[in-house]
Structure 1
Amino acid sequence: MTTTRRSPGVIAAALSALVLLFASAISAQPRYSDSGPEPLLARVFEQIEQNKWEPALQQLEALIKAYPNFRLAHLIKGDLLLARAKPLKAFGEGSTDAQRDKVADLREEAVARIKAYKNKPAADYIPRYLLQMRTDQEHAVVVDTQKSRLYLYQNDNGTPRFVADYYIAHGKLGADKLREGDKKTPIGVYHVTASLPRQKLADFYGSGAFPISYPNEWDKRMGRNGHGIWLHGTPSDTFSRPPKASDGCVVLANRDLDDLSKSLQIGLTPVIISNSIEWLSLDDWQSERGALLAMIDEWRGDWESMDIDRYARHYSKKFQSGRQDQAGWIEHKRKVNAGKRWIKVEARNISMFRDPGRDEYVVVTFEQDYQSSNLSNVMKKRQYWIKEDGRWKIVSEDAA
């Protein structure tokens, strides 16, 4: 019996949207990554785009061998095999009506993976939010929810250096969390607070989980609530989840989470979640960083001067610390200074992270060494700075 072979163009047509995505991405002159399934997946679409469907099947076999429960790879393989027998009109045509939603999810995953693989940021560009990492912060995590991607940066003597990136799933209803149960992922500046091993978790959370500090002080001030936002893995029978699949957590494949976990420091590693990352050239990043550092040093010097008017100009009209507003805070400092002959303030080991959301604050944390004629102490302090009338000002200040 003779088997009729369909034109390879039929296969390309069946996966046309993804093939076009691949072809357009090539022109972007990407910086390639060789981690995760994306390189093999990209080669599959490259073979399809070139009408080389047998090599494409071979690449799919290699992909499935490396990632046995990668459902997207199995779906593409099914399409290619089905195309041998009949023309295909749509991605995932061999699936049943009941599977259509899952097929749509897998197509979204394919688009997200290939876009991210083929359009990586240039090596000399930095997420705008990583203004300065403390010396003991070895890495930083930045999440782009629109691209379903997590980027890992290393602290290279104060300059963030790209290390790796991973596909992620996030909230079913998108980002910018406001309320408990809204199925959204928060946007803001957070840090890893704990490590929960697999043994203490349901299989749903995969190989582990890392809770983050949502809601932070700013979220609470803005009236945002909710809890239980984690970085976590996938169930044992699932390689990855669709781009919008969680109740607000950031979800990685277990292999990726295990790899990422080697770089996470409990209580230290910043996790900055954005809707869409804004990138800066190294020169622009250094300029923004230098401008804010200069303002912090000016604040410190004006405090030492004991000139309360100079000191007060650094505080926003919206300032709040506990129950004190701007006027109450300045009056308190005026009374304290009245009993002193001199003040010396040093700010050491400063970190500065810019909020990626609409609030655009910068959270600044440092070790404060305060000495005066009648009191000395050392404490860890956290300030929130915002732009007010074109000038950086402190809107919140408390012990960290």
Structure 2
Amino acid sequence: MLKSFIKLFSGGLLLGCCLLPWNATADKTSIIPGNGLSAFSSNQAERLLVQSLLEINEGRLREALSIIDQLVKAVPNFRLAHMVRGDLLMAFAQQRTRIGQDNTAALTDFEDEARVRIERHLDSQHEGKLPDVLWRMAPDQRYAIVIETSKSRLYVYENRNNQPHYLVDYYITMGKNGSEKFVEGDKRTPIGVYTASKKLDRKLPDFYGEASYPLNYPNALDQKQGRKGHGIWLHGTPQNVYSRPPKASDGCVVLANADLRSLGPILQQGATPVIISNTLQWISVEEARKKQKSLDASLEQWRHDWETQNTEQYLAHYSKDFFSDSGNLENWSRNKRRIQAAKSKVQINLSNLSMFRYPNATKPMVQVTFDQDYRSNVLANRMKKQQYWIWENQRWQIIYEGSA
């Protein structure tokens, strides 16, 4: 039976493209009991889908059909589930045609979605570890979102005593033409460190699903690099579509409505960090602390040199490629030398500090955000500041500084 099934779907969705090479076996404990379908979550839906595909991989087609029947009953707009069910029914009928055979692009989309969903459930490399972009969360950042575009995955982390803890992850859709957004209309998803604002109040077409949360693309670094475009959101799917293929948006990050709904309490707080990376490396908590330690020291030395009005030492912390809203390093240095020539006594305190490694940068780079409390005999000022520190010449230096 299995040999004939492989022949029937050779090169197709279920066996030819993604399952057999992994030699995966079905996990009986992951089947969701039928009486639990009334309160169905997206992760339950995904587990049922993967369970069905793994049963197919082992040649247990009737078991696979029973599971997929549960799934389409609970989530009737899950197109990939209907695709799998249709292929199974044709296998039982011993037909030699496949759903989607006249639409190669659509079939490829289904294959891609099946592949990334299965890969996630066969991959345990992140367990007990952190994505290498999450170095440090500020006390006021209750949650952080990390997206890995190559795996079509969104991870949610909760801040517990300034330490990120994994909560949940979801399947996502990204831009039709991939990542690395550069120009308006290129249908790519940006890579970088962003913040999500609160839900848009205005009513949007059904295409955007139940809600939309704008990201602050382009950020300061994007603008410096000449990246264009706007309107990059986290949003949902139309009511008749459970999920879209991995690459199907105009550049936004798209989730199933149920997943977006579960993220609502997090995103509605506003200013939630959203880090989008092509690929993630997974490191231990100890490794993350070690990585931030040298930058902690550089940041504290920068603060000390500024507070003690050691102007030249202070300016040595800035890269030759530094930029800000007021200009380049030359303009910045001229202004600081003028201000500090008065030798005013100042006190500078930094608090509420976060550190996120900037993904896919040509050199190691970290976005640092903190609350800055500046006091002198003529001025008292408190502001939220953002810096980008880059590793060059065997030391950390500041390449950008501005208000956050």
Structures share a fold, TM > 0.5? yes
C-alpha deviations, 1:289-322, integer Å up to 9, x for none?
A: 2221121111101112211121111011111222
Instruction: Identify if the C-alpha distance between structure 1 residues 346 and 210 changes in structure 2 by more than 3 Å, giving closer, same or farther.
Output: same
Q: Could you tell me which residue of structure 2 aligns to residue 362 of structure 1? A: 366
Taking the aligned partners of 1:78 and 1:307, their CA distance within structure 2 comes to 73
Give 1:18's aligned amino acid: C
Report if aligned partners of 1:345, 1:370 keep a CA contact under 8 Å in 2.
yes
1:374 aligns with 2:382: no
How far is 1:392 from its partner?
A: 0.9
- Show structure 2 runs of 5+ residues with no match: 31-40
1:10 aligns with 2:28: no
Give 1:10's aligned amino acid: S
1:93 aligns with 2:95: no
Comparing 358-367 and 345-354, the one that deviates more: 358-367
Instruction: Identify if the C-alpha distance between structure 1 residues 262 and 11 changes in structure 2 by more than 3 Å, giving closer, same or farther.
Output: farther
1:80 aligns with 2:85: no
Taking the aligned partners of 1:120 and 1:234, their CA distance within structure 2 comes to 28
**Structure 2 SS opposite 1:271:** strand
Taking the aligned partners of 2:140 and 2:223, their CA distance within structure 1 comes to 27
1:70 aligns with 2:78: yes
Report if aligned partners of 1:195, 1:266 keep a CA contact under 8 Å in 2.
no
**Structure 1 SS opposite 2:383:** strand
**Structure 2 SS opposite 1:69:** coil
Mapping of 1:156-171 within 5 angstroms?
Answer: 156-171=160-175
Report if aligned partners of 1:302, 1:310 keep a CA contact under 8 Å in 2.
yes
C-alpha deviations, 1:208-254, integer Å up to 9, x for none?
A: 11110000011001100100000111111111101110110001111
C-alpha deviations, 1:21-40, integer Å up to 9, x for none?
A: 5535889xx9xx99242211
Report if aligned partners of 2:26, 2:55 keep a CA contact under 8 Å in 1.
no
How far is 1:121 from its partner?
A: 3.4
Instruction: Identify if the C-alpha distance between structure 1 residues 68 and 332 changes in structure 2 by more than 3 Å, giving closer, same or farther.
Output: same
Taking the aligned partners of 2:205 and 2:42, their CA distance within structure 1 comes to 31
How far is 1:263 from its partner?
A: 1.9
Q: Could you tell me which residue of structure 1 aligns to residue 34 of structure 2? A: none
Report if aligned partners of 1:25, 1:115 keep a CA contact under 8 Å in 2.
no
Q: Could you tell me which residue of structure 1 aligns to residue 209 of structure 2? A: 206
1:352 aligns with 2:355: yes
Give 1:306's aligned amino acid: Q
C-alpha deviations, 1:339-376, integer Å up to 9, x for none?
A: 23422110111112121022443221111111223322
Q: Could you tell me which residue of structure 2 aligns to residue 303 of structure 1? A: 306
CA-atom RMSD in angstroms: 2.2
Q: Could you tell me which residue of structure 2 aligns to residue 154 of structure 1? A: 158
How far is 1:266 from its partner?
A: 4.3
Q: Could you tell me which residue of structure 2 aligns to residue 319 of structure 1? A: 322
Instruction: Identify if the C-alpha distance between structure 1 residues 21 and 153 changes in structure 2 by more than 3 Å, giving closer, same or farther.
Output: farther
Report if aligned partners of 2:383, 2:403 keep a CA contact under 8 Å in 1.
yes
Taking the aligned partners of 1:136 and 1:391, their CA distance within structure 2 comes to 29
Instruction: Identify if the C-alpha distance between structure 1 residues 173 and 47 changes in structure 2 by more than 3 Å, giving closer, same or farther.
Output: same
Give 1:288's aligned amino acid: K
Taking the aligned partners of 1:188 and 1:291, their CA distance within structure 2 comes to 22
Report if aligned partners of 1:275, 1:357 keep a CA contact under 8 Å in 2.
yes
Taking the aligned partners of 1:48 and 1:309, their CA distance within structure 2 comes to 68
Report if aligned partners of 2:25, 2:55 keep a CA contact under 8 Å in 1.
no
Taking the aligned partners of 1:304 and 1:26, their CA distance within structure 2 comes to 62
Report if aligned partners of 1:10, 1:87 keep a CA contact under 8 Å in 2.
no
Give 1:343's aligned amino acid: V
Mapping of 1:21-40 within 5 angstroms?
Answer: 23-24=23-24, 35-40=43-48
Instruction: Identify if the C-alpha distance between structure 1 residues 94 and 192 changes in structure 2 by more than 3 Å, giving closer, same or farther.
Output: closer
Taking the aligned partners of 1:265 and 1:259, their CA distance within structure 2 comes to 11
How far is 1:325 from its partner?
A: 2.2
Taking the aligned partners of 1:326 and 1:37, their CA distance within structure 2 comes to 53
Comparing 9-18 and 103-112, the one that deviates more: 9-18
Report if aligned partners of 1:193, 1:210 keep a CA contact under 8 Å in 2.
yes
How far is 1:279 from its partner?
A: 1.9
Aligned length: 385
Instruction: Identify if the C-alpha distance between structure 1 residues 329 and 134 changes in structure 2 by more than 3 Å, giving closer, same or farther.
Output: same
Instruction: Identify if the C-alpha distance between structure 1 residues 162 and 398 changes in structure 2 by more than 3 Å, giving closer, same or farther.
Output: same
Report if aligned partners of 1:22, 1:46 keep a CA contact under 8 Å in 2.
no
Mapping of 1:71-220 within 5 angstroms?
Answer: 71-86=79-94, 88=96, 93-97=98-102, 99-196=103-200, 200-220=203-223
